[in-house]
Structure 1
Amino acid sequence: MFQIGKAIVSEEIIENDFVCNLSACKGACCVDGDAGAPLEEGETEILVDIYHKVKPFLRQEGIAVIEDKGAFVKGEDGEWETPLVNGSECAYVVFDGAVAKCGIEEAYNQGAISWKKPVSCHLYPVRIKEYTELTAVNYHKWQICDPACGLGAALQVPVYRFVKEALIRKFGAEWYQELETAAGEHLTQ
């Protein structure tokens, strides 16, 4: 572990490789699991504000859940998250054939909204945990992402570079530059 600003960063985001491989995993991270995507406090308001613009991009099942439970819910852990359809896929999931994709991101890609998606989704497989004094930045290894690890290794793309845009979104460009420097130093040790 090393520290950049108030963030404690796991070396695993430097030492492991990762590039999403949707053709292999079919977007399973948006479908599997027992909780929705983690949301930051401010993101709950964004979801409410953009829902009418995102709704045309969503499936009927997702719309029904969102209109019944809300644009976000409180999870079993007491944290905010996206609601789930039948306790499975995120309510914002859409399918392109057999591949699960984000309806929010599709609305963003089509120019309907200017917010890409929850930062936790954008950062994946990096997970952020906020504490009173510090923020933990960790690599979340999940078996369904084994194809992404294999592709990342083949392309030689470490986790932190795969999520560069998201890390800059979360922490800023200067923070990311410090991470690049720390990664270079770590790899030469």
Structure 2
Amino acid sequence: MIAIEHTLVSDEIVQEKFVCDLARCKGGCCEDGDTGAPLDTKELDIINQVYEIVKPYLTKAGIRNIEKNGRYQYDKEFGWVTPANDDGICAYGYRDAQGIIKCAFEQAYNDGKIDWKKPISCHLFPIRVKVGREYELLNYEPRETLCSPACALGKKLKVPVYQFLKEPLIRKYGQEYYDALDAYHHTFVVKK
């Protein structure tokens, strides 16, 4: 484990390799799970603020689900989460022409309609953040079958998990935090 600021980071985040291969996994992480995406409590207000802007990007099933069950839900195990449709896909997800699940928030962001990309838990995947009393624990948790193409592509391209997730790590923790991970990688991992 690596201690940085108020976090404990799994060594795998700097040692293992990972690059999403959407052509192979089809964005399956947006439909494979017990609930929708975990949400930070600050993100609840953001979702309320951007919902009407994002709504045109949603599927009919997603809109029905959200309007029936709410823009987010509370789960006893995971806390606040996005709603999931009956087929398991996140209510904020949709399939593109290639069958890849895309995020309505991210598409609205890419189109310049909103300035919030998507829930940080989605952006950081396959890193899972568990909040403890004194530390946040960052673990590398790819899905064994679903993420095997991403693990293979990461190995082929020689891209460590933390480098692939540079943008969301900086978004959540800042540039200095990312630089500390990078320094650890170059000091302890690259020299091995």
Q: TM-score, normalised by structure 2?
A: 0.95
What are the Cα deviations for residues 37-80 of structure 1, in whole angstroms up to 9, with x where unaligned?
A: 01001001111111000001111100111111111101141500
Question: 1:109, 1:157 → 2: CA distance?
Answer: 24
User: Superposition pairs for residues 76-91 of structure 1, below 5 Å?
Assistant: 76-77=76-77, 79-86=79-86, 88-91=88-91
Equivalent residue in structure 2 for 1:147, among 131, 146, 149? 149
Equivalent residue for 1:185? 187
Residue 81 of structure 1 deviates from its aligned partner by: 0.4
* Structure 2 gap segments, 5+ residues each: none
Structure-2 change in CA distance of 1:87 and 1:94 (3 Å): closer
**Structure 1 runs of 4+ off > 3 angstroms?**
none
Partner of 2:46: 46
The one-letter code matched in structure 1 to 2:184 is A
For the 8 Å contact 1:57–1:103, the answer to whether it is kept is yes
Give percent identity, aligned residues only: 45
Aligned residue identity for 2:25: C
Q: Is the 8 A contact 1:34 1:87 kept in 2?
A: no
d(CA) in 2 for partners of 1:103, 1:186: 39
Deviation at 1:87, TM superposition (A): 5.7
CA distance in 2, matches of 1:186, 1:140: 22
> CA offsets, 1:63-111, max 9 Å, x none?
1111111111011415000000016110000110211111110111111
Q: What is the distance in 1 between the residues matched to 2:114 and 2:2?
A: 36
Deviations 1:130-178 (A, max 9, x none): 1121111110121201000111111111100000000001100011111
Partner of 1:103: 104
* Pairwise CA RMSD: 1.0
Contact kept? 2:39, 2:120, Cα under 8 Å: yes
Normalised by the length of structure 1, the TM-score is: 0.97
